[in-house]
């Protein structure tokens, strides 16, 4: 199903359902389709909101993890959201943590899946030469345990981004910012209940990253999903939704 993209001032977002707000933060190559199963499931119990992060619309100076966390802050303020359940995949998890550290009073729970913030393998040392479709296809396949999950539509989408010079520069800027902005020493200050849902076969943020998050986040629980890569909510949505359901049920008002 296609979701209606809503506009509120300068913000673009998807909003489905009613209930406590569940705000989903996407990663660098995060299309709305990544969250389709999650939205369909949780819109029955929550107000599910996906703000469209301005990955390519900020100035190069603001194209950072902190710059995007500020955008999330302004969005949450504009929408007057309170007691927010935040969920972030990949870069989205990193942005969610930076936001939570600055605004702990707003965040009720945080769920991280394949989150950056401690360590990640990005595009590697060799950023693709523009026009190298095969390279982009192989890199996109690495996101998943099952390479067939990298549909032609998804590969085309990533290829179009990396083939646009300005977008490619912004992606590199964000990837470098994510590596520089290591949260290791700050995570002890995140007091919100935290659910870590990790693919056992994630090669981008490998299992040891999840273990380190679990060790450093004082109020965290860690759940593994087998035969699963960097985007569990896409690759094994039923299992992902079940874990998240049980976690959110424990922290319902």
| Residue percentage of the chain with pLDDT more than 70 | 95
Across the range 174-192, mean pLDDT stands at 92
Cα–Cα distance measured from residue 216 to residue 208, given in angstroms and rounded to the nearest whole number: 12
Q: What is the CA radius of gyration of the chain?
A: 17
Number of H helices and E strands in the chain, helices first, is 9, 8
Would you place residue 2 in the very low, low, confident or very high pLDDT band (cuts 50, 70, 90)? confident
DSSP SS3 for 111? strand
Find out whether 233 and 199 touch, Cβ atoms under 8 Å: no
Span 100-138, pLDDT tens digits: 999 999 999 999 999 999 977 654 444 555 668 898 899
- pLDDT tens digits for 184-226? 999 999 999 999 999 999 999 999 999 999 999 999 999 999 9
Domains of the chain by start residue, with CATH: 6-121+182-250 (3.40.50.1820)
Task: Give the model's pLDDT for residue 126.
Answer: 46
- The token pair at 40 is 């369909």
Return the SS3 of 135: helix
The C-alpha angle 61, 116, 46, rounded to 5 degrees, equals 100
Q: Which of the pair, 161 or 81, is modelled with greater confidence?
A: 81
Q: What is the pLDDT of residues 32-91, one digit of tens each?
A: 778 999 999 999 999 999 999 999 998 888 999 999 999 999 999 999 999 999 999 999
């Amino acid at each position: 199903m296609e979701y209606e993209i809503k506009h509120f001032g300068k913000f673009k977002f998807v909003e489905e359902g009613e209930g406590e707000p569940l705000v989903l933060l996407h990663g660098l190559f995060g299309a709305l389709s990544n969250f389709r199963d999650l939205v369909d499931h949780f819109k029955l119990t929550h107000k599910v909101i996906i703000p469209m992060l301005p990955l390519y619309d900020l100035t190069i100076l603001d194209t950072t993890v902190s710059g995007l966390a500020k955008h999330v802050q302004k969005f949450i303020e504009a929408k007057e959201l309170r007691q927010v359940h935040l969920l972030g995949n990949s870069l989205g998890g990193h942005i969610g943590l930076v936001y939570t550290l600055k605004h702990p009073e707003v965040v009720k729970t945080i769920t991280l899946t394949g989150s950056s913030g401690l360590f990640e393998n990005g595009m590697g040392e060799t950023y693709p030469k523009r026009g190298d479709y095969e390279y982009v296809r192989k890199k996109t396949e690495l996101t998943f345990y099952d390479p067939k999950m990298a549909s032609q539509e998804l590969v085309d989408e990533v290829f179009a981004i990396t083939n646009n010079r300005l977008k490619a520069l912004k992606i590199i800027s964000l990837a470098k910012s994510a590596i520089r902005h290591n949260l290791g020493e700050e995570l002890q200050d995140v007091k919100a209940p935290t659910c870590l849902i990790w693919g056992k076969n994630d090669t981008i943020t490998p299992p040891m990253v999840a273990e380190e998050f679990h060790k450093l986040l004082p109020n965290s629980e860690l759940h593994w999903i087998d035969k699963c890569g960097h985007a569990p909510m896409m690759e094994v949505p039923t299992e992902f939704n079940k874990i998240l359901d049980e976690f959110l049920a424990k922290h319902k008002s």
